[in-house]
């Protein structure tokens, strides 16, 4: 049963607000408040608008002390830091910037800041309509149809979107490190309190604003990162061994209990999506999962962790099986992954043109790192994307 619409769409006006409408709404709210009921408000003041539309207009434009116009550097920094840490939770980010609305910040990010910091051009809507064939086909070989299945289509899209966002955040972090200097390596502790150390710069900010953030705990990637991941039949078969669906199901069951993953029928499954800075317990979980399930293209063995997990999902969703050359894996060019500290090596603009034999999850003195290195062996140089301490 669908829910009733919030208003009669046929009789409400849509589109830009006129100055008269603005004046009516503003005058009424300033005098009477919203009355706690936005839906009823337009009728009260004789506006042919949906209540939601009134609310949005008030919050984003008419409300007192709304700032419009250019963002300051400090505001940009706060937006970047929070975006790296919590992603597109615009309302939370907006709460840290007095006078700015989530809509404003979202627009600013999408149209300016992202390009400025990541050097990307947001795809135009015309371009979007004629998207990357991989995406247009449902995420490479991830899924070929829409809807229907429990995790096909929408879930694959969601996973891809999340991974793309995750990569964007990796890139942003790398870029910021390049700008601000400092160590690439961040640590995280298992215990929830005190608040785990987060990305450099951000931590101080979060501590400073801790009391302003909603809820008692800081939002982190480790929270709210369960997503559906769809994998094609061949990969699931490959991953779970040659025993076919029956054996795969048994193995999946075992893996499920061992790794906390909720495997579903071959073709799609759900599992814990580990964040960039998962606590070590989650990393251990990832270790079990990753070491137990040989990756397509031959990646396997112990030692993979949440970063690899995240990156692998992204690479897989975009390019299909990813693996080392030795394992016959497909090595995609990744021009968007740019070396952040290029100055440290010859050829300042060196890129991660491959992850072959380089995207790995290493351990040194109890410190786990996801690192990549250049394919140019003469300039072999590790770039640590992130890490955590055990």
Partner DNA sequence: AAAGCGCACAACCGCACGATA
Partner DNA sequence: TTATCGTGCGGTTGTGCGCTT
Contacts to DNA by CB under 7 A: 1, 3-4, 6, 9, 13-17, 34, 36-40, 49-53, 55-57, 60-61, 68-69, 88-92, 102-104, 106-108, 110-112, 115, 121-122, 124-128, 165
CB 339 within 8 A of CB 350: yes
For DNA, the closer of residues 148 and 246 by Cβ is 148
For DNA, the closer of residues 9 and 145 by Cβ is 9
User: Cβ of residue 335: shortest distance to DNA, in angstroms?
Assistant: 18
Integer Cα distance of 167 and 295 in angstroms: 20
For DNA, the closer of residues 114 and 368 by Cβ is 114
The DSSP H or E segment spanning 156 is: helix 154-180
**How do 269-272 and 360-364 pair as beta strands?**
unpaired
For DNA, the closer of residues 1 and 365 by Cβ is 1
User: Cβ of residue 59: shortest distance to DNA, in angstroms?
Assistant: 7
Give Cα separations from 298 to 163, 234, 313, 315 (angstroms).
22, 14, 15, 15
User: Cβ of residue 186: shortest distance to DNA, in angstroms?
Assistant: 23
CB 366 within 8 A of CB 358: no
For DNA, the closer of residues 149 and 297 by Cβ is 149
For DNA, the closer of residues 34 and 187 by Cβ is 34
User: Cβ of residue 235: shortest distance to DNA, in angstroms?
Assistant: 25
CB 380 within 8 A of CB 374: yes
User: Cβ of residue 32: shortest distance to DNA, in angstroms?
Assistant: 13
Q: Is the dihedral of CA 198, 201, 204, 210 positive or negative?
A: negative
Integer Cα distance of 313 and 230 in angstroms: 10
CB 85 within 8 A of CB 126: no
For DNA, the closer of residues 126 and 349 by Cβ is 126
For DNA, the closer of residues 47 and 295 by Cβ is 47
Give Cα separations from 353 to 85, 89, 201 (angstroms).
26, 31, 29
H helices then E strands: how many in the chain?
A: 15, 5
**How do 367-373 and 382-389 pair as beta strands?**
antiparallel
User: Cβ of residue 38: shortest distance to DNA, in angstroms?
Assistant: 3
Give Cα separations from 321 to 71, 92, 101, 158, 272 (angstroms).
41, 36, 41, 19, 20
CB 277 within 8 A of CB 284: no
The DSSP H or E segment spanning 364 is: strand 360-364
CB atoms within 10 A of CB 158: 15
User: Cβ of residue 318: shortest distance to DNA, in angstroms?
Assistant: 17
User: Cβ of residue 44: shortest distance to DNA, in angstroms?
Assistant: 12
User: Cβ of residue 13: shortest distance to DNA, in angstroms?
Assistant: 7
For DNA, the closer of residues 35 and 182 by Cβ is 35
């Amino acid at each position: 049963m669908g829910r009733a619409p919030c208003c009669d769409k046929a009789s409400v006006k849509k589109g830009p607000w006129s100055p008269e409408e603005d004046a009516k709404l503003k005058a009424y709210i300033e005098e009477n408040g919203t009355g706690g009921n936005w839906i009823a408000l337009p009728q009260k003041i004789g506006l042919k608008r949906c209540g939601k539309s009134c609310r949005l207009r008030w919050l984003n434009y008419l409300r007192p002390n709304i700032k419009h116009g250019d963002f300051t550097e400090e505001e940009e920094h706060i937006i970047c830091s929070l975006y790296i840490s919590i992603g597109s939770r615009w309302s939370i980010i907006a709460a840290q910037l007095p006078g700015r609305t989530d809509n404003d910040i979202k627009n600013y990010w999408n149209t300016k800041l992202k390009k400025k910091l990541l050097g990307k051009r947001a795809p135009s809507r015309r371009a979007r309509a004629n998207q990357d064939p991989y995406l247009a086909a449902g995420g490479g070989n991830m899924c070929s149809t829409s809807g229907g299945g429990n995790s096909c289509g929408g879930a694959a899209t969601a996973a891809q979107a999340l991974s793309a966002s995750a990569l964007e955040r990796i890139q942003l972090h790398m870029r910021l490190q390049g700008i601000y200097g400092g160590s690439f390596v961040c640590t995280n502790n298992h215990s929830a309190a005190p608040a785990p150390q987060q990305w450099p710069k951000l931590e101080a900010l979060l501590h400073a604003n801790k009391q302003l953030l909603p809820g008692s705990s800081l939002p982190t990637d480790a929270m709210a990162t369960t997503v559906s991941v769809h994998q094609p039949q061949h990969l699931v078969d490959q991953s779970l061994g040659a025993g076919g669906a029956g054996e795969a199901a048994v193995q999946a069951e075992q893996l499920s209990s061992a790794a906390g993953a909720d495997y579903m029928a071959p073709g799609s499954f759900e599992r814990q999506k580990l964040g960039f800075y998962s606590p070590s317990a989650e990393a251990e979980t990832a270790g079990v999962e990753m070491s137990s399930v040989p990756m397509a293209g031959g990646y396997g063995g112990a030692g993979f962790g949440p970063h690899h997990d995240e990156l692998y999902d992204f690479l897989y969703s975009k390019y299909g099986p990813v693996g080392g050359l030795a394992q016959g894996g497909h090595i995609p060019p990744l021009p968007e992954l740019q070396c952040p500290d290029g100055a440290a090596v010859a050829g300042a603009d060196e890129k991660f043109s491959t992850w072959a034999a380089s995207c790995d999850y290493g351990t040194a003195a109890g410190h786990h790192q996801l690192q990549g290195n250049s394919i140019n062996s003469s300039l072999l140089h590790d770039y640590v994307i992130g890490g955590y301490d055990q």
